[in-house]
Amino acid sequence: MMHRVQWMKMMVSLRRVALWAVRGLGVLSAVALLAVAWWWLTLKPLPLPGALTQPLDEDARTTHPIVLAHGMMGFDHMGPLTYWPGIVEALQAHGASVFVTRVAAFQSSEVRGEQLLAQVQEIVARTGAVKVNLIGHSQGGHAIRYVAARRPDLVASVTVVATPVTGSEFADWMDDQVRRDTWAASAILALGRGAGRFVNWASGATFVQDVPAALASLDSRGTADFNRRFPAGVPAQPCGQGAAEVQGVRYFSWGGVGTFHHALNLPDYVMSLTGLAFQREAGDGLVGRCASHLGEVIRDDYPLNHFQIVNQLPGLHASEVDPVTLFVAHAQRLRQLGL
């Protein structure tokens, strides 16, 4: 009996330590969000109204407009913050016509895809464009693939950036916690629901959020089911390249590796923790290198983690590559292909 009591006390102590660790991760994430706001408002000058809208040149003026789709827990704007800092302005400066979309922060890929499709149809109707070039980050890559599968007549190209095409090892770990109803699952779902409410409030959205559905869409089982129903561009062999063109739609992808690239970038510390889940391959903290492959693989090992690859916390990334230039270079690529 005494041993049983001691064992129970030990388990309670371990549970408390684990809960404090999860709370610490939540606090670290909150601090990272505050750091984004601090960096943007104090060090990154806000563009004046109309700034960078006059093209410096037209080498990225694609035939069809570029439509950007954010990832999980994403948004278009939250006050002065944008999901794509510097990227939209740089594309416009080089002549591109760019549209930023907004879908639910936490939802299944299919629901987010339907929300995105409605916006694509609106963009086409409003601009008179025949088609659009879709670029999606993280889970946004699944949403744009869904749109291309449903309405290939409206899509010239699909480009996924750091998207878990064949699933995320971190999502596998999270989904396992949810299925086993562990203490970590309770913490994950609570943090997710809180984050969803906050994004809705801060961005002025009213989306219904579904954290379990979002997590299930990004693990190995969920992505396998998604790929079975929407196979365009998915590699036939692990870590291979997929079909570059399906139903008249061109498919591209790029991704990064490494979790810690800049000591002043607080999300790097978070990515260093989430990156511990990756055992099979190198990743960017949330997505594995080979798991990001779709269609023509431009590159899968840029020295950028999952947040840096879309320039969140501008300038705080490895010096070898500027994430903004990757998007400009891709727009130039699309232009050269007549897209």
Q: Which residues are catalytic?
A: 138, 284, 306
Task: Please provide residue 137's backbone torsions phi and psi, each rounded to the nearest 5 degrees.
Answer: -100, 135
> Strand, helix or coil at 296?
strand
Going from the C-alpha of 251 to that of each of 114, 129, 179, 184, 238, the distances in angstroms are: 20, 20, 34, 37, 17
Burial of 58 (0-12, 13-18, 19+ CB in 10 A): exposed
Relative to beta strand 155-161, strand 81-82 is: unpaired
Sequence letter at residue 264: L
Q: Kindly provide the residue ranges of all beta strands, DSSP E only, lying in the chain, ordered along the sequence.
A: 66-69, 77-78, 81-82, 98-100, 132-137, 155-161, 245-246, 249-256, 296-302
Rounded Cα–Cα distance for residues 274 and 290 (Å): 17
CA gap 17, 339 in Å, rounded = 54
Nearest Cα to Cα of residue 222 among 164, 280, 278: 164
Angle formed at CA 166 by CA 103 and CA 120, multiple of 5 degrees: 30
